Each structure stands twice: as structure tokens, then as C-alpha cells.
Structure 1
Amino acid sequence: MILLIRHAEAIWTEAAVDEVVRDPDLTDDGRLQAAYLAKALQREPVDVLVSSPLRRAAATYAVVAGRPGNATDFQEWLREIHYPDWRGWRLATVQSILREHDRESVEQRWAGLAGGESAQDHIALVRGGAEAFLRSHGLVRSPSDPALWEFTGPQRRIAMIGHVGSLATIVSMLLGLAPVAWERQRFPVPNASITRLAPVQVGCRFAFSLHSLGDDSFMPPEMRRR
């Protein structure tokens, strides 16, 4: 089983001036969300837990794991795409830019925003890193079919804490889907949610079945964030 966990709610603006924060920490509600996540994972314990190194994900990791992470717990390929440096910009302005980018052509979506990372580069980073990481834990993609996988060792329960874009990219990869520049819209998930993918046998190999996408039912309704 693979569990993909989105970080809890983050502080996206400095409250006093409504300016965008580059690498935000969690809100107070976000820390409560992370505590609910930790309780949920006690009911479905994992063998391996890794996280994006970005602050909001690392803070979620610390609550879920019950300790701060070390260097091996944080994987660069789980980070979100690098957006342009919007520090000091009004949040409403940034949101407007992102909505406009969503309406651009496929070619422009792949190219990304000026001053930021391209979708092509980010997806290559996530897919390459995730595949290498899974290989190190005994799960290898079939060379003849991207939707099929082979276990070279015992099956392990692996959890990854990341972001909408990185987690959606991993879902696509595990299901054997071709990448698209709008992965985050294809598999959107709310804050502090769990996406579960389970291996199912196909002949002598395995495919992944999407058991749940963005499950946050373990939190009270007032704590859920889209």
C-alpha cells in the first residue's frame, strides 16, 4: 500500500499586510489537522515515511512522525513546483495570475510561469525521484508496461507527505498514465488528506488500484480545507 499525504493548512500570507509568504509554516488549524492525520495513521501504520523538505510539509511530518525529520526523511523530488518569487505580492494578485495560467494553452502550461519552474522539469523531477525511491524499497516498474510493477522484496507500506502537484504526479505515475501539465487539476486533493493506492496482482506482476483520493473523513467537517 502507498499512502500519499498532502501537507496540512499553511499560512500563505502575512496577516498584517496580506503579502505572500515564500515557504510558509502551518496555521494553528493546520497543526490540528496534522494531529488528526497522526491519529488516522496510527490505525494504518506504515513502514516508511518520507516528506517534501518544504516547511509546511516538514511541519506536518514532525507531527505525524512524532519527531523532527532528519536529512534522509526529506526528499527533494516531493517538493512543489518552484513558482516565481512572489514575496511581497498581494495574495489576490497571485491567485489571479494562477487562474489565468490555468486558461493558457497546453504548450504554455508545460512551459510554466515566467520566472518559475516549468511543468516539464517538475514532473520529470517527481517521476524520476519517486521511481528511484520505490526501486530502493523493492518496487520496480515493468520495462514492458508503465502500468505494471514488480516486487523484488517484501511488500512495504510507504507513506509520502507532499503537495498537490507532486502527489498528483505520483498518482499518475503509479497508475501508468501519461503525464500532463495539469496534474494538480487531474487529481486534486484537500489539505491533510490521504490518497491510498493498493497493489493488485495482474499475472505475475502488479498494478495499482486507487482506493481513495484525498480522504479527509477522519477529521471533523469544520477542519476540512479544499
Structure 2
Amino acid sequence: MMSPKFWTIPKSTLTAQQLAEKSAILQGRLTAITARFSDVRFATSLAAEDMVITAAIVKAKVAIHLFTLATGRLHQATVDMVNTTEAHYGVQILKVYPEESDVEAFVDQYGMNGFYDGEEAKKACCGARKIKPLNSALLGADAWLTGQRREQSTTRTELHFEELDDARGIAKFNPLFDWTESDVWAYIQQELVPIHPLHLQGYPSIGCEPCTRPVKQGEDIRAGRWWWLQSDSKECGLHANK
């Protein structure tokens, strides 16, 4: 039996001029956001899109605070990427941990890996390990950024640059909303952005370790997220604005 072929980093068709224009637009977006809002925060997963935004934040020299959700179930490579990114760019990334009581309540009800049992249990785990910590991380902010792109999934095709996060009463921005996967990797290669090691092992999208796996060539790029659930919505609830 032949071994499956997994997703690989796409080749770019952008010219140097096109990439320079995209880079300038991205920096302009970040500058415009910080001109309007006084406390802007960026939730980074350390995966490709978020590394592009991190690089652009540093390049644009804008005041945007970086944080990451340290769920307790991340790959070691993701944990290590925090140190790699801080050292490479001279930035500080705040690690936001879940409340121990919330995790214990989930484990008591569902078991440590109970999220495999279905959508309800998955949402409960994400709620404890990601959504509540995100709410805490955004307290006091008046705007936040994500690395979401329209091309990523069927739930993001109508994504806009700016949204109102009704759930938290603040503005939400998606600076890469109109970028393609190829655009992202062209920027990474041009700007020598550090690459998460799992991207080199067939992972286009990276989340918690037990909930993420490599994607075969031809599969949707988010097919490796919560793969045991038969759903077109590969989301954890972080981006539910209402």
C-alpha cells in the first residue's frame, strides 16, 4: 500500500512587485487600526497566517500587543515557537492559560479526551481552554486582530476586514481576509518569517495536539481540525461574534 501524500507548502505565483504591494497594504491596515484604537491586541496561534501578521506588526512598528492561548494541549513545537518568535522579532508574547477549575470541570463531566465524543463535548473543551481565556485576554482592549482568511473555509467566505465583535463589544479586524494561501507563503519566504515545524510535516492548520492532524493532498486545508466530526464548520467558537 502506498503511503498517502500530505499537504505541502504551496508555490507562489506572485511577482516581487505584487508581493511588495500586498505587504504595503497590510502594513497600512495595521497602521490605520492603531490610529483609531488605543489598545489593540493580537491573538497568535504561531501558525503561518499569524506569523505573517506578527512580522508585519514589527515591520510597521505599531503598538499591538501579542498574546497566545496556552491551552495546555498544544504541540511542543507550538510552545517552542513562542520562544522562537520572541527571539527572532524582539517581541513579548503573553501566554494566557485556562482557569484550572474550568479544565477540571470539563474533565469531571466528559473525561480528559471527552471532546472526541461529539460536538457538544468539543465545544465545552474549547470553551474552557480557549474561549474563556480569550475573553480574559481581551478585557480592556478596544480592538483585536485575527489571522482569518476568506479562503480558509466555507464559514469564512463572507469575512470582512473589519467586524464588530458583539460578544465582547469591541472591534475585530482580519488583516489577511483577502489573502490567498499562496500569498501567505510568498510573504513568509520573502520576509524570512520563522516557520512552525508542523507546516513542514503536512499540517496547513494547527491547533491543539489531540485535535489536529496532517492533511492529505487535495483535502480542505482545515480537514485536519476536529476530523472526527462530520461538519463543514471547522471552528472552535473563538470567532463567533454574537
Question: What band does the TM-score fall into relative to the shorter chain?
Answer: 0.3 to 0.5
Q: TM-score scaled to structure 2, two decimals?
A: 0.33
Question: Of Structure 1 and Structure 2, which has the larger fraction of its residues in helix?
Answer: 2
Q: TM-score scaled to structure 1, two decimals?
A: 0.34
